[in-house]
Amino acid sequence: MDFTLQVWRQDSPDKEGRFEVYRATNISSDMSFIEMLDSLNIELEQKGDTPVSYECDCLEGICGTCSLMINGRAHGPGACTTTCQLHMRSFQDGETIVIEPFRAKSFPVIKDLIVNRSAFDRIIQAGGFVTVRTGSAPDGNAIPISKIDADLAMDAAQCIGCGACVASCKNSSAMLFTAAKVSHLSYIPQGQPERMERAKKMIEQMDEEGFGACTNQAECEAVCPKGISIKFIARMNRDFIRSSF
């Protein structure tokens, strides 16, 4: 397969960026999007050009490192997939593909397609943990948790912190991410003592980072590679109300 790529190139955070057009030729339909970019970079290097910078790590959809806006959609077409799980057969032969970094004021571009998502780390640091006494491991079955709660906690805990929710939100809101991180601990007994404090602090940090506010359009849910539901945003809002008064 052959593609025309329009790729965002930006040398450093404070330099102006621009789109460059490249041809990707002889691409196998079984290649992942990342492999396609790798093959482009090999060609660029052979020609003595600077390869395109992008991020990836696990290549199996669990780390959340890969992050590309592909044809206007975070992680490209298809539901519940990360960029690294996206196959080139999802595109038409000869198609023009626009590749941009995730854009948000709170996700400044580092280089080309790589953005700094440390804002997410700071939201987690603000309260996305449980305080436990260290020492010998507690007995695995000492704290009973219902299957329903365990499942819901796991649904929220699926979030891999990729930032696609922010990237695709018309308001650049980080509420899906924050809600997932607030909620997964709020379903389990271990998360109860700090529950209200946690919601409050994480939301404060989210605002401080300069993310937008949700308008319930659910674009985030549509592109989230882990299918995190906006029901967790409702749950976070509930915790917020309770923590405020």
Question: For residues 13 and 143, what is the distance between their CA atoms, to the nearest angstrom?
Answer: 48
Q: Which 3-state string (H, E, C) describes 14-52? A: CCCCEEEEEEECCCCCCCEHHHHHHHHHHHHHHCCCCCC
Composition of the chain by helix, strand, coil, percent to 5: 40, 15, 50
Burial 97-123 (b: 16+ CB within 10 A, else e): bebbbbebebbebbbbbbbebebbeeb
**Which is closer to ligand SF4, CB of 22 or CB of 54?**
54
- 56 touches ligand FES by CB under 6 A: yes
Question: For residues 144 and 148, what is the distance between their CA atoms, to the nearest angstrom?
Answer: 12
Pick one of 1, 44, 59, 218: the residue that binds ligand FES (CB under 6 A): 59
- 78 touches another protein by CB under 8 A: no
Selected range binding another protein among 37-45, 60-68, 98-106, 120-128, rule: CB under 8 A: 98-106
- Partners of residue 124 on adjacent β-strands: none
Q: How far is the CB of 137 from another protein (least distance, A)?
A: 35
- 82 touches ligand FES by CB under 6 A: yes
**x-marked contacts with ligand FES along 148-177 as a string, rule CB under 6 A:** ------------------------------
- 84 touches ligand FES by CB under 6 A: yes
Residue 229's identity, in one-letter code, is S
**Which is closer to ligand SF4, CB of 112 or CB of 221?**
221
- Partners of residue 114 on adjacent β-strands: 111
When CB distances are held under 5 to 8 angstroms depending on the partner's kind, the choice from ligand FES, another protein, ligand SF4, none that residue 126 binds is: none
Q: What stretch of H or E contains 3? A: strand 3-9
When CB distances are held under 5 to 8 angstroms depending on the partner's kind, the choice from another protein, ligand FES, ligand SF4, none that residue 224 binds is: ligand SF4
Residues at the contact surface with ligand FES, assessed by CB under 6 A: 56-59, 61-66, 82-84
Residues at the contact surface with another protein, assessed by CB under 8 A: 6, 8, 19, 69, 71-73, 98, 100, 103-106, 108, 168, 170-173, 175, 203-204, 206-207, 210-219, 221-223, 230-231, 233-238, 240-241, 244-245
